[in-house]
Structure 1
């Protein structure tokens, strides 16, 4: 059977339907009501495809924010305002959806309090982002929900997770939020989940709904429906109508199957006209730095009592400032460093799993302590996620095979790497994201680690995420790294300054105790450093973390290495 297709302009739609209706025995399937609603201005000829989005007046928003918006980010804010603050911002990962969302929400500040719902691992990152980008918001008016009994409306800016929201249904009924930000909104794709059922009542009554997702499921339209319903429920009030048109719905003996797709070009046009804005990195590459660094503030709330006590004791021991011997001071600092690793494990794993759920298929995770590396690979293995691991125990002969496996696989894969053992000599540029699960006091080593992906052959800009936990050694390592990075930039040895060009958290020494510990880190790991001193320090840290050196172990370091470490600490 031969078929033919003809193309008609949208403004001719009415005349076309009238002409076809006058022909006898012709079956006509009109466009869905939602499509006609979206393109009504084009049907009537009052708007053209080239109509520009008007420039929004952002004079009421903190200038420190608006001045730093890239042109495409400013366009995103304009688009949102033109849609009355109801949109799906579906920019590619790494294009600054967070800062755009904060600016959009700030435009409607008179309608606050604001609610931000995000994956659990980035709640505190959102709090830091508001402190950084909107200095006019008092820090004590930012309310991060950490347990189900917390007050959902306890601040001007309220931040919770999807899972916590599902436990707070009684509080939701009290008073609605007018402005909502739903980060990683594809978490709502399944309408049968507790997440969606908890969010729906809030979405129904909110005036402004800002959905953020770097992975809109265009190839599986059924997963988009819940987000369309959240932003513009009048488009397709009934899922079956949407499924019939765009999911190639089929009636099977056991019910309807909506797993397919159809009319995707029409769906894309309709979404872009009505509620969705999506830019790819390739489209705005000229506006982006080659490397973008971002601080992700994580919490240590999930640590057990023993680890919490050990971390606190290590900090108090350092705060006494009674270490006259610099080597003894280093030993105390390494204890603090090790307890920080234990305290961060739960948050690290949560962040990695969130990245995978958000659609990040390939990325690198750098850590130092064996305990952290083991915990990450254990979690990935239990969830059936492919990974490679390179650390100090990986034979040189196997490294290239592991790198090739990562480089050429089409599946999701995580490269779990030791900061000190895999920071040079390997190429993994098939990924464009690097996650530092732990910090290291030598920024040169961290830059080398970043450059496993940022090198010749990389066709995209690279995102670098640093996981930083307050109340740990990170409080003192991070400012030190920022300062060192700034010095490297001034002499042309670093492409960007962590403190200025990253979405960075601010870690200031609030009291004499913090200042004293920071000074100890500075003195211990910066003064009088040479290559040999650095090498010995790395050996010392690795030895400290090696279970084989614990009492009762049958395995010990070689005599020469053990002697070097003991000499280093002056034992």
Structure 2
């Protein structure tokens, strides 16, 4: 009774002022009365008013309907369909048109929801409003996706849900390997809604009986920290599950709730599970889903070992990049979701890995090529049982305007070339360049095996071996990675090789010494060997070839109203690019690892909705996952990565479902530099992935075979020239001219 009294009091507060009388000149909106009003009204003036679009008003309206007498309900319903009339009782044509247009607009904006029901209105209907039956004919109970979810799924998503249920029914795991942006999260939720028999007409969280009468256990979802809340939001939009997040300070409370049976879906992060996996592995999970499952590519990692302890055979991996660097990563992932499905590790390496790699060499004998083709077909046939892989082109290509991928070779500035050449003359680099020459001491041994195995007179080597003056077992190959990092930094911007004030003092001292050595007489042109914060100096493009090319590209894009995503791995490079954008007057947003998680989505929404935002500066590490930036139609990858999947993930922030424009991607490479080798390596890895995962036929461009261990050994770093296009490697020979046929290469001079 008290609830009814309180409700009536609240209605009186919301009642419009009754002493306002309409004037003849008033618009039709001034004649509208609240449907809550109890006063009798003239029939000619009684037009139902929709309350403000707020959750409170909607709930009040729904709660109020049972308390209205049936006559009032019918009268209110009739008034809602009545057209406005003038004071003489005749319809005003202008008022009628305005009224109909307003009502049509409000109907389009109205969310498809009832009080206490999951909100699904933002998703357009893509199919009939009927459930999707997953179970076989005659199978009891009938497992089906609720109609409210099925009507919003695309056809490839329905196929994905059927695949996931087949894995579940057969009691083994598998991989949903769709391209990024095809809705793997939604497919997983639709599958769970069917398995847990979530009816769209029921909002209660109930314990559901399994196929054999037993209770279903909870579902564990392991994902990157950045997408935890995205999973939570998607569950709230699509189905009525009891969802809890095992992350942060309230883990103990969530664990108690889980043990009490109050949790249906438990979401946790990779790091949390790696640390606390022993606790969660004691739970009998119904299904375990790992988002971005390519994180399980290393069988020796702590995360992989922790996930291997999970007590369920129903393991599902979601990833758009099933294989990134080598074919054995494919085995590790499949062996986790379905242990033993591909045989033993050694069997897979001998039967699939080695034949496929050697058969792809440009000079491979015909017998090797035929053997590789047979093994490729056999592998694809085996994978079909455990993996479903679709691309955007074959699923939603007809709904999108397409994507163009360009590699832009940017000529380095004259200062960059001089610094690049200076580094190649350092003792550390020369040790690697001349490693196979006869030793100068007269020994028949090579320099790498004799006097030049260590480099005490170098700059990088002494710092690496400050605690071991005699060197290490890997000398001199321990120098390769640090040297390549420095070469890539010079290729991007000279400011990057200067010491970082946040590093330890010893490292700052070493970096300052290195910068002085390679800058030489040009040290004043770059503002000294210490990091500079001079705005005019950092925002100037004169000494950076890539920024010169970027300046020309952005000028043409801005004149056409294009929106741009600008990615870089280096936060320092983002700082420099930010100053460049300020100097040029571009309106931009920025997201990197320091951006709080709770602010990231608001930055994305603001960029997508604001026509004034032209550029989004994004750290590739922080923004490679979970961002939907379909308002942008130009993507720039400022610095390439060894792993091609990283660049592809960055591209797909824009090229995904909902993109209405043609997307053009520009990957910037410093012409004639070490970055050309990075790009060639990307092509090589992408070809291996296409062969092993999709069974495609790829042109055999490369002679090299990727070595599982010591991949740098045998590489001739000295032949990476700071000019021209030639790249030579003892095991890896390629010229970018060969790649012109399929890479869309462009050359932009500085």
**Structure-2-length-normalised TM-score:** 0.34
Q: Which has the larger radius of gyration?
A: 2
**Structure-1-length-normalised TM-score:** 0.43
